[in-house]
Chains A and B, each alone.
Chain A
Amino acid sequence: METEGAIWLKQLQSRYRYSLVKLLMVKLGYFIGQIACFWYFSSLMHNLIVEHEGLKDETLLSFVMCSVVWIVLRHISESHLSKLNANVELMLQHQINSALDTQQHALARRYSSFFWQQVYLKHIPSIAQYVSQYTSQKYISVIFPLFVILIIIPINWFVALILMISLPIVPIFMILVGHGAAELHRKHFISLERLGGLFVDRLKALTLLTSFNQHDVESKRLSKASQLVNRQTMRVVSLAFLSSSVLDFFATVSMALVAVYIGFSLLGELSIGPDISFHYGLYLLLVTPLLFAELKTLGRLYHQKSEAEAAVDAIFPIINSVVESPLFKGDSIKGNSFSDIGWIDFKTSKPSIYADKLDLNNNDSVFLTGNSGAGKSVLLDALMGLRKSTHSLSGQVVLISQKPTILPTSVRDNLLMGQDIPDSELWLMLEQVQLLDKVKSLPLGLDSLMGENPMLSGGEAQRLNLARALLQPFDILLLDEPTAHLTELQHNQLALLIHELTQSKTRIWASHKSLPLSWFNRNWLIKDGLLVQTDVQAEAQGKQPC
């Protein structure tokens, strides 16, 4: 069965069909140039060594011309390949980046930043190489040998016949051996995976090992594990190597046999097949290795296939995750301001949250509760339109998340986010979030760089985050547990500050720490995939939500 990812990869290849065909044509051209070059070379040698006729100018000229064609077309084909590779890379990067544009942090936080590094630096190039180099080589290693046999037939049908019979044996052997090796690999797969990853694992565990003084024990374990892995790996590769040895075997033996056959025929010791001259004989000797050369190249590129498969596994879910626009996007287009909503049958998918009715009016203050993992963040993503759902908010939405984000740039750039705001307003905002003294105490004030490890406590960082959000023009403010990582005292202080600065705005505040109910006029509770809304006054009177 073909996975969706494999189908996507095929579609990707067919998008570049035209370029690939062009590449193949150029390659075939250089191949013909090379073969013609061999022909004239053999002819020159024949004239000199056998006929003692001296140099024929037109043959030498043809040799030089064919050499030029060979070299030039070969170079062109390689730069074509390079260009194709670059095109695929840029196209994939563009697709990834547009997926990030539409889903932003909802997509980004699903993976670690290491994963994203691998996407750009490893997976995209892997797929590009597969689509350009491996795919073209796959066709070439079929077309070229057939082409070689085709031109051998008129010269010596006997040699052509022998090669034609032996040629299919090569891939058959390779496939058999490959299957055997894969089977063996599967058998040892779990232990190879586990023990093979031990080195990296123990590097990550160094603190633990140091704390318990277990370094030497683990060092011995590592040494044992690698012995075991190496033994098993050798068993697998001993078989896998047979596959390239099969190629080597046929390439070498056929050359030796062709040489002996031609030599003996020339000597008159052997008279199978048509008569042969030195010209033809030398030509056959030169051309025979070409029969196997392209298959050998394919074998060398074979790792590209498995790398591309791993890359597709990583990238396809991202490219495939593009969010379709929700059915109802408020009552207006994005960019327009927010107007009151009254949604019926609101639903997000994967994980699913359902609300039969959901209302939000201008200047509402919503308290969003639910256990951790109930889907508060999922809901907020959906409201922002970053996730598949039936509805999403219109107007400008700004989110403050659990973990404050401080860019390594200056304080000013951290606040501006590309906007144009005068310093006086920035200072005013810093005063409102009680960071005035802190920033003033920094050596360069607003120009101080925050660097990799900003000298801010958790509360200060979140206040800077708050200042940044409040400086943005927005209609609705979403708060996703902004005090989750703070102590009780800090939570109380910061929550009060947030409340005071945002009470005149439309806001949805998710928290599983307690907040005064008087701050809110609506309550949204998520439980078991259901979102239930109550108004706060009803709950204060002790009624059950319905």
Chain B
Amino acid sequence: MLIKSSFAALLLAIVHAVSGLTLLLVSSWFIAASSVAGLNFNYMLPAVIIRALALMRIASGYGEMWVSHHQLLDSLANIRLNLFNDMQGRSSVSRASDTDKLNYQSEDVASIWTGWINQNAGALLSILFLTIFVLWQLIEFSVPWFIFLIVSLVIYTWLIMSGLSLAYKKLQIRVELESQIEHHFDAASIWHMQKNLQHPNASAFYNKVQSNHKKIEWAISALLIISLFTVTLLVIKMDALGNYSPIVMILPMALMASVDWFGRTFFSHHRLHDYILGKKSINSEYRNDVIIRLEDKIDRLELKQFKPRYSLSKAINTVYKTQQLHLISGSSGSGKSRLFQAISGLIKHDGKLILNSNSGEEKGPEKQLLDDVLYVEQTPYCLSGTLRQNIQVAQKLESDLLIEAPVIKDSKMLELLNSVGLSELSNLNQWVGTGGRQLSGGETKRLGIVRAMLSTKSVLLLDEPFEGLDETNINKVVDVINNLKQTRCVIIASHIYPQGLVFDSVVDLDSL
């Protein structure tokens, strides 16, 4: 389907380009022929052809835009869906610059047909047809024509090749500048101490963009020079040969308009470059890892010399059982989040993690997700969607068909929201997150708790559940946690320990 529409768009683009040029050439030949016509000149046929070409060009122009845009959108949706599926089991792409990159790179890859192939096919085929025409009808003018042909193709190829290395350099500068800007602004709070403070300077990047423009303009000028030079040669040759027939008109006319039908492609090559770089980066960075989910129900977790891989913190030895409440304390930066991610299997670990009984199954050090463990992030993510979707995300799927199936009753959802002090969120159909009502930090925190309550997972890892909450809401969350502890194993990572919680064990990451 996608391939079909790609080729339909290509065909229409070619018709559009070729009919446009042919219209100009036939028109000029027609008026030349008319002005020297004898009595038996059949003028009706060319007049009809001219009108037909005009209609063809207009129709194919609209058709091409429509079909190619359709194809672009479909292929973009396809690429993004594949990309998303490839990333199953990964942790979030949290840096905005990275999601932005995926966003525009998928667009770059999808628009190769519309942006480059279609336009260039039209121009190159026009050149080919003209060459065939020269060989067939105007063989005595083939020398000037081939001079033009070779020089213009050299310009064309040079622009593509040198543009590619320029685009690569531009990308490097861009990446460097991005990280430089990020570091610079992350350090804003100590700017006032810096002697000779230098803010980012993007001139190198602007220069590279400009030098690409300059390159294109040089190519256009070169094309104009060779075209007009060839026109001069052709005129001299016509005179020398004494060949004054109207059909000869066609070559100089095509050359006079060469910037329109051929030079235009020069502005499209950056699409090819973006496609090549985008494709490369998408392929290299986002390969699919095989993810194994361990489906076991868990009532006991034993950590032996356990720590996240590449972490410099000390290893942990402890046992977590169901109906217990544990604390991992530590200041921010002490590695609480990474420890939780390692336990749930989102990142790799060193040491041992043993499930259930003492001699039970051991989780492999590679990425094996424990299905029965829920990691609630420090800043739980609020999906761009309805509030209901945001809660339903926690429901266990019985089969794989349930986008709409309402398993959790609305009244239950509202009750849970109420229990964590989120009664202000009463409209389950309200759109929240990007494009809707933005939840505050404290609200998303409690949304995360609601999801944890709804889930059927036996082990809950709550990352900083109290940060940013006022006293009333801390107390509500404390009650909820004490409730959860009745049936499950709850592990909290926090630098705040409110009253009302009794811990079965405390691990202090600061003092290890």
Contacts and interface: CB of A to CB of B under 8 A. Distances in A.
B435 interface: yes
A229 to B, nearest CB: 8
Interface stretch (B20-28, B142-150, B414-422, B480-488): B20-28
B44 to A, nearest CB: 10
A281 interface: yes
A228 to B, nearest CB: 10
A203 B203 contact: no
Interface in B181-202: 181-197, 199-202
A445 B233 CA distance: 74
B155 interface: no
Contact of B61 (A85, A200, A233, A245): A245
A170 B206 CA distance: 36
A226 B74 CA distance: 8
A48 B238 contact: yes
The size bracket of the interface on B is 35 or more
Contacts of A379: none
A524 to B, nearest CB: 21
Nearest to B96: A114
B438 interface: no
A544 interface: no
A89 B53 CA distance: 45
A259 B206 contact: no
B181 A113 contact: yes
Given A121-B178, A266-B31, A282-B31, A205 B92 contact: yes
B434 A220 contact: no
Interface stretch (B1-9, B81-89, B299-307, B358-366): B81-89
Interface stretch (B129-137, B161-169, B349-357, B368-376): B368-376
Interface stretch (A60-68, A303-311, A319-327, A361-369): A60-68
A78 B174 contact: no
Given A48-B244, A212-B451, A456-B333, A417 B193 contact: yes
A472 B193 contact: yes
Nearest to B389: A221
A120 interface: yes
A124 interface: yes
B381 A208 contact: yes
Interface in B220-250: 220-221, 224-225, 228, 231-232, 235-236, 238-239, 244-246, 248-249
A214 B30 CA distance: 67
B183 A407 contact: yes
Contacts of B87: 203, 206
Contacts of B451: 212
Contacts of B213: 78, 82
B181 A93 contact: no
A255 B381 CA distance: 59
Given A223-B81, A244-B65, A255-B54, A208 B380 contact: yes
B393 to A, nearest CB: 5
A397 B495 CA distance: 30
Contact of A201 (B181, B374, B383): B383
A49 B193 contact: no
Among A282, A289, A457, max chain B CB count under 10 A is at: A457
A384 interface: yes
A418 interface: yes
A203 B206 contact: no
Contacts of A223: 77, 81
Nearest to B228: A67
B232 A63 contact: yes
B32 interface: yes
A204 B433 CA distance: 12
Contacts of B427: none
A470 to B, nearest CB: 11
B498 to A, nearest CB: 11
A39 to B, nearest CB: 12
Contacts of A79: 214, 217
Contact of A121 (B184, B205, B220, B394): B205
A274 interface: no
B118 interface: no
A388 interface: no
B293 interface: yes
Contact of B232 (A64, A201, A220, A263): A64
B410 interface: no
A44 B248 CA distance: 13
Given A82-B214, A234-B70, A418 B194 contact: yes
B23 A214 contact: no
Most chain B beta-carbon contacts within 10 A, residue among A60, A211, A218, A418: A211
Interface string B420-452: 000000000001011110000000000000010
Interface stretch (B275-283, B317-325, B395-403): B395-403
B332 A485 contact: yes
B222 to A, nearest CB: 9
Contact of B31 (A74, A248, A278): A278
Contacts of A219: 81, 84-85
A86 B204 CA distance: 11
A90 interface: yes
A63 B102 CA distance: 51
B455 interface: yes
B383 A256 contact: no
A296 to B, nearest CB: 10
Given A108-B185, A197-B434, A285-B31, A217 B333 contact: no
Contacts of A120: 177, 181, 200, 202, 205
Interface in B459-511: 468, 495, 497, 508-511
Nearest to A71: B224
A177 interface: no
Contact of A264 (B34, B66, B434, B495): B34
A233 to B, nearest CB: 6
Which 6 pairs across A and B sit closest by C-beta, in order of nearness?
A418-B195, A458-B331, A259-B27, A114-B96, A108-B188, A226-B77
22 contacts: A75-B218, A78-B214, A79-B217, A82-B214, A86-B207, A108-B188, A117-B181, A194-B435, A199-B80, A203-B87, A207-B91, A207-B381, A213-B397, A214-B397, A217-B403, A222-B81, A237-B65, A266-B34, A266-B35, A398-B192, A488-B495, A490-B495
Given A230-B74, A255-B24, A281-B31, 4 more contacts: A64-B228, A125-B209, A217-B397, A223-B81
Interface of A: 37-38, 41, 44-45, 48-50, 52, 54-55, 60, 63-64, 67, 70-71, 74-75, 78-79, 82, 85-86, 89-90, 93, 96-97, 100-101, 104-105, 108-109, 112-114, 116-117, 120-121, 124-125, 190, 193-194, 197-224, 226-227, 229-230, 233-234, 237-238, 241-242, 244-245, 248-249, 252-253, 255-256, 258-260, 262-264, 266-267, 269, 277-278, 281-282, 285-286, 289, 293, 372, 384, 397-399, 401, 403, 405, 407-408, 417-419, 455-459, 461, 465, 468-469, 472, 485-490
Interface of B: 20, 23-24, 26-28, 30-37, 41, 43, 46-47, 50-51, 53-54, 57-58, 61-62, 65-66, 69-70, 73-74, 76-77, 80-81, 84-85, 87-97, 99-100, 102-103, 106, 174, 177-178, 181-197, 199-203, 205-207, 209-210, 213-214, 217-218, 220-221, 224-225, 228, 231-232, 235-236, 238-239, 244-246, 248-249, 252, 256-257, 260, 293, 312, 329-334, 344, 346, 369, 371, 374-377, 380-381, 383-384, 393-394, 397, 400, 402-403, 431, 433-436, 451, 455, 468, 495, 497, 508-511
